[in-house]
């Protein structure tokens, strides 16, 4: 029987973090969830609070943390444009100071660290699909830069700690992910469309809707996190973690209207600044090194997500 590991998950009350905490506990680990609850929500981890091997710390990763752990998953950072643009300076601090503090902790206790990076490091890509050796096309002074450049700097710090201190790091570049526990008002395309469709409100498509995204269901992504952390020291990443199946935003809107049976009309609005026109990961590296690729079909994942939001909206109506 494998030894129980003590695992720290920063941003553990968020969308991805709560699913990761749940999975780690199911595998027999002790889990410490750290969150400042800026975007994380206690309701996401309510079912875990009675587990004796689960602990919650209200803490901001921009300040040092002194605990003893075996592994660190650094997920802390608002990930939706509405949230990360609300306080862009704090967003940059969370990515950069947060990475410095978690890397410092990992170095002190000799822990493995998984850094949750993002496909946004590629900016509006000139390479399609995006491979890990592509350096990106990022606007360093735009409204999205606090997130894009903050995550790029976090990757830099990880690799400098690896080169300078021999720290065991794993860097995963997360592409669009969806599923239960997404925030109702996070402004992301899947949650936006589902909520609008369920309410019978107009569905807002920005631009002509031809821009593409690649949507990965949350359970598939969490599996990729676990597999990335389990690789040996020679594998650091960065590794693309996402679904290579590409879909236009307009196609997504039409699919959600059909699945919900909504009478919502699709309306168009101007495209936001620096919004990427194409997004699709090349996951060859993940297939070869992790033995991983997404298994959940988009329609199945969307049905589960619609069911979740339908329940949430029903609660509000009571």
**pLDDT over 70 at 1, yes or no:** no
Contact 203, 193 (CB under 8 A): yes
Helical axes 249-260 vs 189-199, angle rounded to 10°: 40
- Surface-to-core class of residue 289, CB atoms within 10 Å of its CB (0-12 exposed, 13-18 middle, 19+ buried): middle
The residue range of the domain holding 103 is 6-175+216-242+275-295
The confidence band for 314, taking pLDDT boundaries of 50, 70 and 90, is confident
Res 294: pLDDT:
97
CATH number at 170 reads 3.40.50.720
The confidence band for 274, taking pLDDT boundaries of 50, 70 and 90, is low
Q: CA Rg, the chain, in Å?
A: 19
Contact 302, 259 (CB under 8 A): yes
**pLDDT over 70 at 269, yes or no:** yes
Is 258 a domain residue?
Answer: no
Handedness of CA 183, 189, 192, 195 (dihedral sign): negative
CA distance linking residue 195 with residue 249, whole number of Å: 15
CA distance linking residue 165 with residue 31, whole number of Å: 26
CA distance linking residue 199 with residue 206, whole number of Å: 19
**pLDDT over 60 at 272, yes or no:** yes
CA distance linking residue 151 with residue 172, whole number of Å: 11
Is 155 a domain residue?
Answer: yes
Handedness of CA 220, 308, 33, 118 (dihedral sign): positive
CA distance linking residue 241 with residue 292, whole number of Å: 9
Res 184: pLDDT:
87
CA distance linking residue 242 with residue 16, whole number of Å: 13
| pLDDT tens for each residue of 60-110 | 999 999 999 999 999 999 887 888 888 999 999 999 999 999 999 999 999
Number of domains in the chain: 1
The confidence band for 207, taking pLDDT boundaries of 50, 70 and 90, is confident
Cα 190 to Cα 152, 201, 208, 275, 298, distances in angstroms: 25, 15, 17, 16, 11
Fill in the DSSP letter of residue 279: -
Is 74 a domain residue?
Answer: yes
Is 203 a domain residue?
Answer: no
The confidence band for 318, taking pLDDT boundaries of 50, 70 and 90, is low
Is 114 a domain residue?
Answer: yes
By annotation, the residues acting in catalysis are 147
Count other Cβ atoms within 10 Å, centred on residue 109. Answer: 15
| pLDDT tens for each residue of 117-128 | 999 999 988 998
């Amino acid at each position: 029987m494998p030894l129980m590991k003590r695992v720290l998950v920063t941003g553990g009350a968020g969308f991805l973090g709560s699913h990761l905490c749940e999975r780690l506990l199911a595998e027999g680990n002790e889990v410490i969830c750290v969150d400042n609850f800026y975007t994380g929500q206690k309701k996401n981890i309510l079912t875990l609070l009675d587990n004796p091997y689960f602990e919650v710390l209200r803490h901001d990763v921009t300040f040092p943390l002194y605990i003893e752990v075996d592994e660190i998953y650094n997920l802390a950072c608002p990930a939706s444009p509405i949230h990360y643009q609300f306080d862009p300076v704090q967003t940059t601090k969370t990515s950069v100071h947060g990475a410095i503090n978690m890397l410092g902790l990992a170095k002190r206790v000799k822990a493995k660290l998984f850094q949750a990076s993002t496909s946004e490091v590629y900016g509006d890509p000139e390479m399609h699909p995006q491979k890990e050796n592509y350096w990106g096309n990022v606007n360093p002074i735009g409204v999205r830069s606090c997130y894009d450049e903050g995550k790029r700097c976090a990757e830099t710090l990880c690799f400098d700690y690896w080169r300078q201190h021999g720290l065991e790091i794993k860097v995963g570049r997360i592409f669009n992910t969806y599923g239960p526990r997404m925030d109702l008002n996070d402004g992301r395309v899947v949650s936006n469309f589902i909520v609008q469709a369920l309410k019978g409100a107009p569905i807002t498509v920005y631009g002509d809707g031809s821009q593409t995204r690649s949507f990965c269901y949350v359970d598939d992504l969490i599996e990729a996190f676990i597999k990335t952390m389990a690789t040996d020291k020679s594998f650091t990443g960065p590794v693309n973690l996402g679904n290579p199946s590409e879909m236009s935003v307009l196609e997504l809107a039409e699919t959600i209207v059909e699945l919900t049976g909504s009478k919502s009309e699709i309306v168009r609005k101007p495209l936001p600044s620096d919004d990427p026109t194409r997004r699709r990961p090349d996951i060859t590296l993940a297939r070869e090194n992790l033995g991983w690729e997404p298994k959940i079909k988009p329609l199945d994942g969307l049905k589960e997500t619609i069911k979740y939001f339908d329940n949430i909206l029903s609660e509000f109506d009571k």
